[in-house]
Amino acid sequence: MRKSSLVLLAILALAVAACAPVQRKYDYKEFRAADPKSILIVPAINKSVDVDAPDYFLSTISRPIGERGYYVFPVNLTKRLMEDDGLSDADMVHANDPVVLGKMFGSDAIMYVSIERWDARYAVLSTVVTVDLAYTLKSAKTGQTLWKHREMRTFDSQAGNSGGGIAGLIAKAIVAAIEKASPRYIPLAQQANAGAVGRAGTGLPAGPQDPAYKSDISQF
Average pLDDT of the segment spanning 133-160: 91
Q: Can you tell me the distance from the alpha carbon of 218 to that of 208, in angstroms, rounded to the nearest whole number? A: 17
* Topology classification of domain 23-116+132-154+184-198: Rossmann fold (3.40.50)
pLDDT at position 123 over 60: yes
pLDDT band at 184 (very low <50, low <70, confident <90, very high): confident
> Which stretch of 93-107, 123-137, 154-168 has the lowest confidence by average pLDDT?
154-168
Q: What ranges do the domains of the chain cover?
A: 23-116+132-154+184-198
In degrees and rounded to multiples of 5, residue 176 shows phi and psi of -65, -40
- pLDDT tens sequence across 21-49: 445 778 999 999 999 999 999 999 999 99
pTM (whole model) above 0.75: yes
Average pLDDT of the segment spanning 94-109: 96
Instruction: Look at 194 and 122; give whichever has higher pLDDT.
Output: 194
User: Residue 92 has what pLDDT?
Assistant: 94
Residue 140's Cα: distance from chain center in Å?
Answer: 21
User: Residue 181 has what pLDDT?
Assistant: 43
Average pLDDT of the segment spanning 189-196: 97
Arithmetic mean of pLDDT over the chain: 83
Instruction: Look at 16 and 209; give whichever has higher pLDDT.
Output: 209
State the first-to-last Cα distance of the chain, in angstroms, to the nearest integer. Answer: 46
Question: Percent of the chain beyond pLDDT 90?
Answer: 67
Instruction: Look at 165 and 20; give whichever has higher pLDDT.
Output: 165
111 Cβ contact partners less than 8 Å away, ≥ 6 residues apart: 39, 40, 41, 42, 61, 65, 135, 136, 137
Q: Can you tell me the distance from the alpha carbon of 127 to that of 155, in angstroms, rounded to the nearest whole number? A: 8
